[in-house]
Amino acid sequence: MKKIILLYCLLSTLWLSAQVEQSYYLSDNHPYNPDIPTPQSVLGYEVGEWHVSHDRLVQYMTALAQASDRITLENRGYTFERRPLLLLTITSPENHQRIDEIKAQHQQLTTPEGSNLAVENMPAVLYQGFSIHGNEPSGANAGLLAAYHLAASEDPETLTLLDEVVVLFDPSFNPDGLQRFAYWANTNRSMNLNPDNNDREYSEVWPGGRTNHYWFDLNRDWLPTQLPESQARIKTYIDWLPNVLTDHHEMGTNSSFFFQPGIPDRVNPLTPDMNQKLTQEIGKFHAAAFDELGSLYYSEEDYDDFFYGKGSTYPDINGSIGILFEQASSRGHLQNSDNGVLTFPFTIRNQLTAAFSTLKAVKTLRVSLLEYMRSFYSNAAAEAAKSKQKALVFGNPKDPAGAYEMARVMDRHGIQLHKIRQSSRINGQEYPEASSYVVPLNQKKSRLIKALFNIQTQFKDSLFYDISAWSFPHAFNQNYSYLNDSKQLGAPLTPLQKPEGTVSQKGSYAYLFEGHSYYAPKALYSLLSKGIRVKVSMFPFTRNGVRYDYGTYMVPVQNQSLDADALYALMQSVAKDNALSVLGVNGGSTEGIDLGSRNFRAVELPKVALLVGDGVRSYDAGEIWHLMDTRYEIPITKIDVRNMDRVDLSSYTHLILPASYGRGLNAFKDKLKTFAQSGGTIIGYGATLSWLSRNELIDLKFKTTSRTAQNIRFDQRNLFRGAEEIGGAIFNTKIDRSHPINFGIHSSYLPVFKNTELFLEPQKNSYDNPILYTSNPLINGYISKENLQTLKNTSFFQSSRLGSGKVIVFTDNTNFRAFWYGTNRLLANALFHATLF
Ligand SMILES: [Zn+2]
């Protein structure tokens, strides 16, 4: 013990005296232009002594760009918290003079006209991005030094590099997260650094700095592009099409340094082999640099290149090479680890080393990288020309807004979309002009289109770092069909037009609109919150030969807080904003239920609370917050777990419990029961289901898959266990469209996303099972045979009365990563229609 204490004292003195100098990162002998400000001269401390906050990072990059003719700085937009999304373009002043020409020529490489370009004379384009997870800060902090070096180095090798490479330098992929984490690490830093892992510095408060403002993992949004950070970044990506993109992360403190290639068996089959070969070639440069530095590293383990929604994989389906870096995290300034004391400067130096080895690799492999990009696109064009399938049509016959949202994502990725030539029935589905899109397949982004629509249910490997399926038509619940000719190709949609709704005429009796628009819940809330009475139909009906679906909304003209003219004006604005087709009517008779029927039921204004805080899955909570706040514009009160005991729940109609981990809820068991018994609705997701059932708020019967290992060796146990996990796949459910939980959904089958191993026995009475997995439910992705067997015919949703209130449960997430538009409606219906079932 004494020895340990002595050693500890020795080491602490060492850390105390170990002031970081710039020479720790960059050689003193290197020729640097003294007119270029060092990070220290602007920040007032050496990189690594404190965690750079985003605003200080902006300050430094601005100073650097002002001082250097090698850098142009642009702001591409703002995060939710209004932080700028900066991009530095770094290259030689000569290249800057003709940057538009370079860009145009680079783009030409991906078109038929590019076949004659002399790539030997063209610069390569490298996109370097840092710290997409805000609490993985060594990347962004290393970026300060990398940018300084590129601006200030007078070394001949750097000068050649700047001639031969255009660097798109993204100093902080996630400004809001970086700021949140820097605040945490700096606030808790002791002046005498303390490596004790138990120190508060190394355990962030919920939700931590990994995510962006609404608690999204930005490194899953490269394909969905639902968040402003991704939208700005993808725009740069599409404008430039970089040859290589690097993505600097951190991993567990006891690890070392990882660079790609990842696990060879788990590369997405749509990625060409040559991509992985070049990744390996680039990897040799990292290995050499780390050998020289003496830092431990590894590759071809742990991480994979399967899901194109990650920064290191998205480039792989776009003719580029995506590279993932993972550095063991000091998650603060200094921590004990299996590899000794891990200092923040050490993690920064490794990231800087990888940034430099990337530059060297891109400079050296420039011609091969440019040629690879050209061949990627010419091969893709040749494949598309040979293919029998010439186009794709997708759409939702009743929901122009939902179809538009999917089209918008494709448009962001540079995919050309067209109108349908005329409303048609194709393979049994209706494709009206107003809500259908045609995608020609012989276009530049043909492989990316394939990746968005691809179905894969057979896999070489049964482990996934992330989800195994993401097909867009299922996520957005759109009908789609491949076409063998281009006859349906209508006018090109550049730019895309947001659909707008209308009111047919001023109604003297009522206004009617079906519930199918994606934005119907927003419209509903907007009307109810203005005190307008709205009713909903429990049955379909027909009026003047037109059929109105279950869940049609009716706004009576009489006895409203607005007079007939003001109501008409309001209906017009609500219809326009939410892509609704509203019918103004002058009488109440229909074939079927008349408008005065008791089967038009009142819709009540919900007042919604959401449980957040320790123990709650922040992603799931953030998705709900984001959905309500940014899409439906429904106010939602975030109640922290630690304040639950003093909040009066009786002022809320609904309490949403996102997937949460047990114990935190125990303290409020009685409170939740009382809330429901006195008329409140509890909505539970995922991991809260077993808690709700155990505590008798709802009676649920779970099915389980049990499998015992046979002939599985010790070193295979993780593969065995992992194969039983559902990392994220897409399954089909059959829905009862007459049930209010399904109002507004146009189809009888609803694809759902599943990433839990929760399987619910259906209820006894068929009418209590409005959403059931089909008997052949797998649409896309990986699930073990045993789990698939168990999943068949189980429930996705259940509800049960508790006193005068209700408990509603969903086994899986209806709001996954903000791009599962197709099932968002279920949550909205639980808010507006819970009293109807
Ligand atoms: Zn990360």
pLDDT band at 2 (very low <50, low <70, confident <90, very high): very low
**pLDDT-wise least confident of 36-50, 102-116, 411-425, 712-726:** 712-726
How far, in Å, is the centroid of ligand 1 from the Cα of 792?
Answer: 35
- Which phi and psi angles does 804 have, rounded to 5°? -95, 10
Tell me the per-residue pLDDT of 302-343, one tens digit each, with 9 for 90 and over: 999 999 999 999 999 999 999 999 999 999 999 999 999 999
- Radius of gyration over every alpha carbon of the chain, rounded to an integer in angstroms: 29
For the residues 414-419, what does the mean pLDDT come to?
A: 98
Tell me the per-residue pLDDT of 478-513, one tens digit each, with 9 for 90 and over: 999 999 999 999 999 989 999 999 999 999 999 999
Tell me: pLDDT of 4 over 70: no
CB neighbour list of residue 411: distance below 8 Å, 6 or more residues apart: 417, 493, 495, 496
How far, in Å, is the centroid of ligand 1 from the Cα of 136?
Answer: 6
How far, in Å, is the centroid of ligand 1 from the Cα of 664?
Answer: 27
How far, in Å, is the centroid of ligand 1 from the Cα of 279?
Answer: 19
How far, in Å, is the centroid of ligand 1 from the Cα of 475?
Answer: 25
How far, in Å, is the centroid of ligand 1 from the Cα of 257?
Answer: 13
For the residues 354-383, what does the mean pLDDT come to?
A: 98
Of 95, 80, 82, 370, nearest to 227 by C-alpha is: 80
How far, in Å, is the centroid of ligand 1 from the Cα of 236?
Answer: 21
Tell me: pLDDT of 192 over 70: yes
How far, in Å, is the centroid of ligand 1 from the Cα of 346?
Answer: 18
How far, in Å, is the centroid of ligand 1 from the Cα of 135?
Answer: 8
Handedness of CA 710, 713, 714, 718 (dihedral sign): negative
Residue 512 DSSP code: E
For the residues 601-626, what does the mean pLDDT come to?
A: 97
CB neighbour list of residue 584: distance below 8 Å, 6 or more residues apart: 503, 504, 505, 506, 507, 510, 511, 568, 571
pLDDT band at 181 (very low <50, low <70, confident <90, very high): very high
How far, in Å, is the centroid of ligand 1 from the Cα of 533?
Answer: 48
Strongest mean pLDDT among 138-147, 262-271, 454-463: 138-147
How far, in Å, is the centroid of ligand 1 from the Cα of 423?
Answer: 46
> Is there a contact between 261 and 279 (Cβ–Cβ < 8 Å)?
yes
pLDDT over 70 for what percent of the chain? 98
pLDDT in the model for residue 723: 85
pLDDT in the model for residue 662: 64
Residue 82 DSSP code: -
- For residue 61, give the H/E element and its range: helix 54-67
Tell me the per-residue pLDDT of 773-785, one tens digit each, with 9 for 90 and over: 999 999 999 999 9
How far, in Å, is the centroid of ligand 1 from the Cα of 569?
Answer: 49
Residue 419 to residues 392, 447, 809, Cα–Cα distance (Å): 11, 21, 39
How far, in Å, is the centroid of ligand 1 from the Cα of 348?
Answer: 15
How far, in Å, is the centroid of ligand 1 from the Cα of 219?
Answer: 8
> Is there a contact between 218 and 349 (Cβ–Cβ < 8 Å)?
no
How far, in Å, is the centroid of ligand 1 from the Cα of 137?
Answer: 10
pLDDT in the model for residue 8: 44
How far, in Å, is the centroid of ligand 1 from the Cα of 356?
Answer: 20
How far, in Å, is the centroid of ligand 1 from the Cα of 107?
Answer: 30
How far, in Å, is the centroid of ligand 1 from the Cα of 178?
Answer: 12
How far, in Å, is the centroid of ligand 1 from the Cα of 133?
Answer: 5
Tell me the per-residue pLDDT of 238-252, one tens digit each, with 9 for 90 and over: 999 999 999 999 999
The mean pLDDT value of the chain amounts to 95
pLDDT band at 1 (very low <50, low <70, confident <90, very high): very low
How far, in Å, is the centroid of ligand 1 from the Cα of 142?
Answer: 15
How far, in Å, is the centroid of ligand 1 from the Cα of 751?
Answer: 29
pLDDT in the model for residue 659: 94
How far, in Å, is the centroid of ligand 1 from the Cα of 194?
Answer: 24
Tell me: pLDDT of 604 over 70: yes
How far, in Å, is the centroid of ligand 1 from the Cα of 507?
Answer: 55
How far, in Å, is the centroid of ligand 1 from the Cα of 132?
Answer: 7
Strongest mean pLDDT among 11-25, 427-441, 456-470, 650-664: 427-441
How far, in Å, is the centroid of ligand 1 from the Cα of 324?
Answer: 9
How far, in Å, is the centroid of ligand 1 from the Cα of 414?
Answer: 26
pLDDT in the model for residue 706: 80
How far, in Å, is the centroid of ligand 1 from the Cα of 288?
Answer: 24
Residue whose entry in the numeric block shows the structure tokens 């087709």: 581
Tell me: pLDDT of 348 over 90: yes
How far, in Å, is the centroid of ligand 1 from the Cα of 638?
Answer: 26
